[in-house]
Structure 1
Amino acid sequence: MDSITRDSTAPRDQLLAELHRCAGLGETAHVSRMVQGMKSGLDGRNEQGWTGLMLAARNGHADVVKLLLQNGCDPFLPNKSGQNSLDIAEFWDHTEVISLLRNDPQIKKVADKDLINFFGLNPLDRQSHQRTNKQWLEDAMRAPTTTFVLYRDLNPYIIPSEDSNGTFQYNLAAFSYAEISFALKEEASIIFLGVGPLHISMKKDGNAQEKSSEEGAWFALDVASIPPEDLQKVKPEAELLPKRNRMAIMLLRAEDAGIIALGKSVLAWHDRYKFCPTCGAPTTIAEAGYKLVCTKEGCRSLQGVHNTCYPRLDPVVIMLVVSEDGKSALLGRKKGFPGKMYSCLAGFMEPGETIEDAVRRETKEESGIIVGKVQYHSSQPWPMPSQLMIGCIAKATSSKITVDEDELVDARWFTRHDVIEMLGSSGGSGSSGGGMFVPPGAAIAHQLLKHWAKMSPNL
């Protein structure tokens, strides 16, 4: 046995390098001993972003793949080229490894579902039929299994934490009725979010497996009128999501992010639209926060079907424009982008416009590029404050760029190699073109680029 595999005090990078070597060579016995000794950090990546699981999948070592999966290795992690373990096994046609990965519970759980972008994973059943049931809502708010998500100035309360691998993240700060009942005033904005699994912090001893089938109601609450120190007494570890860090919201747990996005979007609507858009009279909140009712008798909005007093939703097309030969992608840079970040072009849809026409119009307006075929990819709720990002892949029929300087600082064609390097960079530290990078994985633009990069993977 190699001395490194015997010595648990060896530096972490040495242990990781040895794990990668053994996994790549298919040395199952050595990998088994290392797994027992390391206990954590098995998903550590090398300079190319490869994990031990990826290396085993690349070389068709089914026994090693099975062992690493059984010990909790993440099959979804991508390397710097954007491929995960299953992508790699499929590319090299290792049938036994493909079968193992496809049948892994983590992958099977999402295999038959569409891609879920960040902010889109909301585990709650919205139960819209209960929004008009006042008695049910009153009882639900007082139940011991109910969770309240708190906001101040549209900013959620969170709790900083680190996972077992030392990865920093923000968890939703879950409050119970007993903790927050003093803040439930008549004038407070209270939004019914739905019914779903109890938050881990609401379970006995914080055990995620404890009563895993138990559910409760969820509400969002605006606490702008409550002194911050009163809340600090209730939950000292809770704090507001940092506003100065634009990427902070991307550090939320994916399961929490969808819930927080829902509450933030509806509360933003309440904050911005306090008067009837038909007659200008004050409104009152109805349907558990999802409708505003005009207080003026005889207002036209009170008669028939009118959508003027329901939460606002703004559709935005965001498109990855691919060159005619399929070898390059068009990316642009806006004035407010951090560092040297480039991203997909995007713009608001207009009335009477199809998604395809919006993609063509916005691309031509911003870059001068003409687009032909447009293909839908996926969508993403974006609570900044109320957008729905509609992601598309678009095929260019021209190549000369003419930048609209009111919209963009720059736009250019990037090769597949450039894009792969930019996807692999962290916070702008990539080497492509002098440190240029793309939005992080939580942004739909990142997913569009990763999808395109995988069309012709270089493994």
Structure 2
Amino acid sequence: MTRPIGYITNPLVRHSAERDPEALTKAVNDPKSALVLLAGDMPILRSGEPGTGLLPLSTLSRLPAHKEQVFLGTLQDRPVIATLAAPDAVELFQNDPDYTAVDLRSIAVRGLVPAEELGILAMAKTMLDWHNRHRFCANCGAPTVAAQAGFRRDCTACGAQHFPRTDPVVIMLITRGDTCLMGRQPRFADKVYSCLAGFLEPGETIENAVRREVFEEAGIRVGAVRYMTSQPWPFPSNIMIGCVGEAISEEINFDREELEDARWFTKDDVRRMLDGTHEDFAAPSPIAIANHLLREWVKG
């Protein structure tokens, strides 16, 4: 069975419409609450087959101190709290076989927790990263403090309110007949080619962002564009907007600062890339939205 796209399943009830400013305080004092703990960027898991990123609240007693906390919501009426500890807190769990520290990308690739927990871990990482990066007011430079159970930061001087942000990224499979366009960046794993992608710019539609990015990166003109699906991508806080576009030109002229290579692939190429039998090329990880776009195109 194909592994689902990573981070897309999140069963939490967020309570965003009626978020209680005191919800975090109540959850921290509720012994049945679950804890998502990050030491820097590294989630702490309970070991198992699979493991879990939902720890007992008592795990906090292992920490000499922690930084930010956020009330994420409830899971079957159980409050869930995200907590940020210093990166060196990993050392507190290294010699305990009941715990392990693994980066979030590896957790998804290796299936170390149930699929429904991946979205919760992604949400926790995104929120805690935002707090860590927004300790000062963009309006006046004064320190900010967490508010609304962790879903807002307030300036202590000018009173400005700051909210978590998500950066939209278009990622697109461009087709021309029975071929599709993919590119390769130097940072990719060996042999891997993937869909082109880029940030949506202010005042730009999704469709025009697809057309602009493909022309800038590969020199290909794109006509019709349609939306397929999306994926939260918590590195640090993106939403990947998956699209399919139809090329109206064929000659590739790729940007060598952005890409190491770009080329057209046949459906047979892509089938073998997806099943791991291609001798020269490889597909992106099954957790990635790019893998899903390729699979849907091959099936279609």
Amino acid of the residue matched to residue 267 of structure 2?
R
CA distance 1:228–1:423, change in 2 (3 Å): closer
Give the TM-score taking structure 1 as reference length.
0.61
Give the TM-score taking structure 2 as reference length.
0.91
CA distance 1:410–1:247, change in 2 (3 Å): farther
CA distance 1:183–1:447, change in 2 (3 Å): same
The Cα shift of 1:232 comes to 6.1
Secondary structure class of the residue paired with 1:128: coil
Question: What residue number does 1:310 align with?
Answer: 163
Question: What residue number does 2:54 align with?
Answer: 174
Amino acid of the residue matched to residue 54 of structure 2?
A
Take 2:266 and 2:164, find their aligned partners in 1: how far apart are those partners? 41
The Cα shift of 1:193 comes to 1.0
- Residue 188 of structure 1: which of 60, 63, 67 is its match? 67
- Residue 144 of structure 1: which of 28, 31, 39 is its match? 31
Take 2:261 and 2:242, find their aligned partners in 1: how far apart are those partners? 21
Amino acid of the residue matched to residue 42 of structure 2?
N
Deviations 1:132-170 (A, max 9, x none): 331x432322223210010011210124444xxxxxx6x
Take 2:294 and 2:19, find their aligned partners in 1: how far apart are those partners? 39
CA distance 1:283–1:366, change in 2 (3 Å): same
Question: What residue number does 1:408 align with?
Answer: 259
Identity %: 41
- Residue 452 of structure 1: which of 274, 277, 297 is its match? 297
- Residue 128 of structure 2: which of 248, 267, 290 is its match? 267
Higher fraction of strand: 2
Contact 2:242–2:289 (Cα < 8 Å) also in 1? yes
Contact 1:191–1:219 (Cα < 8 Å) also in 2? yes
Matches within 5 A, 1:195-210: 195-197=74-76
Contact 1:149–1:172 (Cα < 8 Å) also in 2? no
More displaced stretch, 218-227 vs 260-269: 218-227
Deviations 1:216-250 (A, max 9, x none): 010111121884455568x641121058xx64442
Contact 1:150–1:156 (Cα < 8 Å) also in 2? yes
Contact 1:317–1:389 (Cα < 8 Å) also in 2? yes
Take 2:69 and 2:64, find their aligned partners in 1: how far apart are those partners? 8
Number of equivalenced pairs = 298
CA distance 1:357–1:368, change in 2 (3 Å): same
Amino acid of the residue matched to residue 43 of structure 2?
P
Question: Is 2:110 the counterpart of 1:251?
Answer: yes
More displaced stretch, 223-232 vs 369-378: 223-232
Question: Would you identify which runs of 4 or more consecutive aligned residues in structure 1 move more than 4 Å?
Answer: 181-185, 225-233
- Residue 221 of structure 1: which of 64, 83, 96 is its match? 83
More displaced stretch, 267-276 vs 310-319: 267-276
Gaps in structure 2 of 5+ consecutive residues = none
Take 2:97 and 2:133, find their aligned partners in 1: how far apart are those partners? 30
Secondary structure class of the residue paired with 2:258: coil
Secondary structure class of the residue paired with 1:121: coil
Question: Is 2:195 the counterpart of 1:344?
Answer: yes
Take 1:143 and 1:314, find their aligned partners in 2: how far apart are those partners? 34
Question: What residue number does 1:72 align with?
Answer: none
Contact 2:170–2:241 (Cα < 8 Å) also in 1? yes
Indicate the RMSD between aligned Cα atoms, in angstroms: 2.3
Question: Is 2:207 the counterpart of 1:327?
Answer: no
Take 1:392 and 1:192, find their aligned partners in 2: how far apart are those partners? 33
Contact 2:220–2:253 (Cα < 8 Å) also in 1? yes
Gaps in structure 1 of 5+ consecutive residues = 1-76, 83-115, 163-168, 198-214, 303-308
